């Protein structure tokens, strides 16, 4: 039987569609031309200038710090929300689900504007605090959804068995529930981290003086400044991501 | 319950180093501006001389910045919006009246530019950096270049010409070509301009606001209507690119230094604006970021090849015919209608 070529072609096509833009970006970060239309020579110049751009590094620092806080807070809140929604039924169950879903579907611009108006009404100084609070607001929903998914095939009999064997509520939560939910919680946390690092629209509205994050900085640089620095920065972030994923895979393999 | 929330917020704020009433910190000046719009060494120098810290935040469009401030965002001191937004913001009472006694360097500001500026008395804004539109072309390919908008009619360049995909700029170029104001509201003048742009359109490869730089650098386009700042960058890459400032006049735009009402460091903000108009500083800054600071005392300090480039500094006779594009409010619809007709024309 002759094997069809179509699956191979589709795979190659999809891979090219996904990764060719990234390849172009990486190549352009070494391109001497600032417009990237033409190859005018190999250079490390953009990396050298990136190294000296203290505002970009400050923005990266802001972004990572905000993402770390937002991730921790939304993971804790999201996990407990999922447990409560899964374990207990109330007459308002549907309303509770709606409240969790809402931030996933509300347009970002609406959320950003309403959060800004809210913070201004509270006389809260715009800054790190308002950005973290806003990021938690939408990250919680994603964490909750992911953990709820994990809870769908969770066997509560195991918890009862643990309690039969003498575990108190705290021990059974720590030794039984958490380890079983860990992959879901980790996935939710990673999602929250990514969303927080990524967010432009909401952050733009709630950011205050001195809290320009990397996405805000990048948008301004595209309009007014030097895009090649962004190419270089993206390449570094990409390399960092690939190394992290590779390392974590290695670590997991060794464990098994 | 409320107390719990309050305590949680307070704890979070403390963790994030934001506990409002701590020990007196060194003075901080918050600048809200475009990316890469001031030479970093100058910022450090000002910080050292004044014992303060400058925190720079960046925005990417006047519209978004305005929406955010209008909604109540605060904490910024000095900003650099474009002139037409300065007009809107001052109309809304968002800007502080400048204290000229604290700004001795204002005597250096180019009076020829101030004549066409939207705030000629510098009541609440000081011009920071100028750009203008014009025509870029490839020296080796375009024979007999002349500084006039009529270049867009040249049949020998057919299909290798671009104009900005911006209704005010492109209709404005035609209005200037015809000798009218580019802020006109006269229907007859607008219709004449429409016919001119439609005639030019037959010659164009396309209306294009971004890729024309690449097209010029690579030689795909021979002639392009564009912004001087962009063209200056393209020139660094391809020295074959030259710039023409049409003698009929052109659009000029400026970002202005303003102080927001509510600033807590009004004195420091004035000192910063004054610092940026020190002739040495203005020249150094212009050269670093490739825009022209309209400061007459700084002009002689600029290298001749930078100063004499029409993409940097216009001839005074041409500059006198330039205009700043103003916000027309509801009359913008007149331009939109004409622009639609141009886009629909074959």
Residue spans per domain, chain B? 26-130+253-312, 131-251+319-344
**Does B131-251+319-344 match B26-130+253-312 at the fold level?**
yes
In the predicted structure, residue B21 carries a pLDDT above the cut 50:
no
User: Which of B16, B36, B75 has its CB closest to that of A129?
Assistant: B16
Q: What is the mean pLDDT of residues B201-225?
A: 88
Q: Does domain B131-251+319-344 have CATH number 3.40.190.10?
A: yes
- The alpha-carbon gap from A23 to the nearest alpha carbon of chain B, in Å, equals 19
CA–CA min distance A70, chain B (Å) = 11
Cβ of B73 and A220 within 8 Å? no
B210 pLDDT above the threshold of 90: no
Please state which of the four CATH numbers 3.40.50.2000, 3.40.190.10, 1.50.10.20, 3.40.50.300 is assigned to the domain occupying B26-130+253-312: 3.40.190.10
Tell me if chain B has a CB within 8 Å of the CB of A103. no
Convert the pLDDT of each residue in B316-340 to its tens digit: 888 889 999 888 888 889 999 999 9
What integer is the mean pLDDT of A6-21?
Answer: 93
- Model confidence pLDDT, tens digit, residues B139-196: 999 988 999 999 999 989 999 999 999 889 999 999 999 999 999 999 999 999 999 9
The structural domains of chain A, ordered by start, are 57-225 (1.10.3720.10)
Find how far residue A233's CA is from the centre of its chain. Answer: 18
Task: List the 144-203 stretch of A: residues with Cβ below 8 A of B.
Answer: none
ipTM value, please give it: 0.71
Do B233 and A38 lie within an 8 Å CB cutoff? no
Q: Which of these, B152, B202, B229, B142, lies nearest to B345 by C-alpha position?
A: B202
Q: Looking at the partner chain, which of A36, A116, A211 has a beta carbon nearest the beta carbon of B68?
A: A116
Which residues of chain B neighbour A211 with C-beta distances below 8 Å? 57
Q: Do A120 and B73 touch (CB under 8 A)?
A: yes
How far apart CA B22 and CA A201 sit, in angstroms, is 31
Contact B289, B37 (CB under 8 A): yes
Q: Do A129 and B12 touch (CB under 8 A)?
A: yes
Calculate how close chain A gets to B291, using CA atoms only, in Å. 12
Chain A nearest-CA distance from B186, in A, is: 33
State the pTM of this model.
Answer: 0.78
How deeply is B126 buried, as exposed, middle or buried, from its count of CB atoms within 10 A (0-12, 13-18, 19+)? buried
* Cβ-Cβ contacts under 8 Å for A254 (sequence gap 6 or more): none
Residue among A205, A211, A223 minimizing CB distance to B60: A223
Give which of A238, A219, A220, A191 is closest to A22, Cα–Cα.
A238
């Amino acid at each position: 039987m002759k094997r069809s070529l179509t699956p191979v072609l589709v795979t190659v096509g999809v891979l090219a569609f996904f990764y060719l833009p990234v390849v172009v970006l990486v190549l352009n970060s070494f391109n001497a031309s600032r417009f990237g239309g033409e190859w005018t020579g190999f250079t490390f110049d953009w990396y050298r200038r990136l190294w000296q751009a203290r505002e970009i590094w400050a923005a990266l620092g802001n972004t990572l710090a905000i993402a770390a806080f937002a991730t921790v807070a939304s993971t804790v809140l999201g996990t407990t929300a999922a447990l409560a929604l899964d374990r207990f039924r109330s007459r308002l169950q549907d309303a509770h689900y709606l409240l969790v879903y809402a931030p996933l579907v509300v347009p970002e611009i609406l959320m950003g504007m309403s959060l800004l108006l809210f913070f201004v009404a509270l006389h809260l100084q715009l800054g790190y605090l308002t950005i973290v609070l806003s990021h938690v607001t939408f990250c919680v929903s994603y964490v909750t959804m992911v953990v709820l998914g994990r809870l769908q095939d969770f066997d509560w009999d195991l918890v009862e068995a643990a309690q039969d064997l003498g575990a108190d509520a705290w021990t059974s939560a720590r030794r039984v529930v958490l380890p079983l939910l860990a992959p879901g919680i980790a996935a939710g946390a990673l999602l929250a981290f990514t969303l927080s690092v990524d967010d432009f629209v909401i952050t733009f509205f709630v950011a205050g003086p001195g809290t320009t994050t990397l996405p805000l900085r990048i948008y301004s640089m595209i309009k007014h400044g030097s895009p090649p620095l962004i190419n270089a920065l993206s390449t570094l972030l990409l390399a960092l991501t690939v190394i992290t994923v590779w390392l974590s895979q290695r670590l997991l393999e060794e464990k098994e | 319950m409320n107390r719990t929330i309050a305590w949680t917020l307070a704890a979070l704020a403390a963790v994030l180093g934001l506990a409002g009433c701590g020990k007196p910190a060194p003075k901080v000046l918050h600048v809200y501006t475009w990316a890469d719009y001031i030479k970093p060494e100058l910022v450090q120098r000002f910080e050292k001389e004044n014992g303060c810290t400058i925190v720079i935040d960046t925005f990417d469009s006047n519209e978004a910045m305005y929406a955010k401030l209008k909604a109540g965002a605060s904490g910024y001191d000095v900003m650099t919006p474009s002139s037409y937004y300065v007009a809107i913001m001052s109309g809304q009472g968002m800007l502080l009246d400048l204290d000229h006694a604290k700004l001795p360097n204002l005597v250096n500001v180019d009076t020829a530019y101030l004549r066409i500026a939207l705030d000629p008395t510098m009541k609440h804004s000081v011009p920071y950096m100028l750009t203008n539109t014009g025509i870029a072309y490839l020296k080796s390919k375009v024979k007999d270049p002349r500084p006039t908008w009529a270049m867009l009619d040249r049949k020998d360049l057919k299909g290798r010409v671009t104009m900005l995909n911006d209704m005010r700029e492109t209709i404005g170029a035609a209005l200037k070509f015809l000798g009218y104001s580019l802020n006109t509201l006269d229907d007859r003048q607008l219709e004449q301009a429409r016919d001119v742009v439609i005639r030019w359109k037959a010659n164009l490869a396309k209306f294009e606001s971004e890729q024309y730089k690449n097209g010029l650098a690579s030689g795909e386009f021979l002639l392009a209507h564009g912004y001087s700042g962009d063209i200056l960058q393209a020139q660094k890459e391809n020295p074959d690119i030259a710039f023409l400032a049409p003698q009929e006049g052109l659009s000029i735009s400026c970002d202005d230094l303003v102080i927001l009402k509510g600033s807590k460091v009004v004195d420091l903000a004035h000192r910063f604006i004054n610092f940026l108009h020190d002739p040495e500083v203005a020249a150094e800054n212009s050269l670093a970021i490739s825009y022209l600071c309209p400061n007459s005392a700084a002009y002689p300090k600029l290298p001749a090849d930078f100063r004499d480039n029409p993409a940097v500094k216009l001839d005074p006779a041409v500059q006198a015919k330039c205009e700043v594009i103003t916000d027309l409010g509801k009359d913008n619809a007149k331009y939109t209608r004409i622009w639609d007709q141009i886009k629909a024309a074959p």
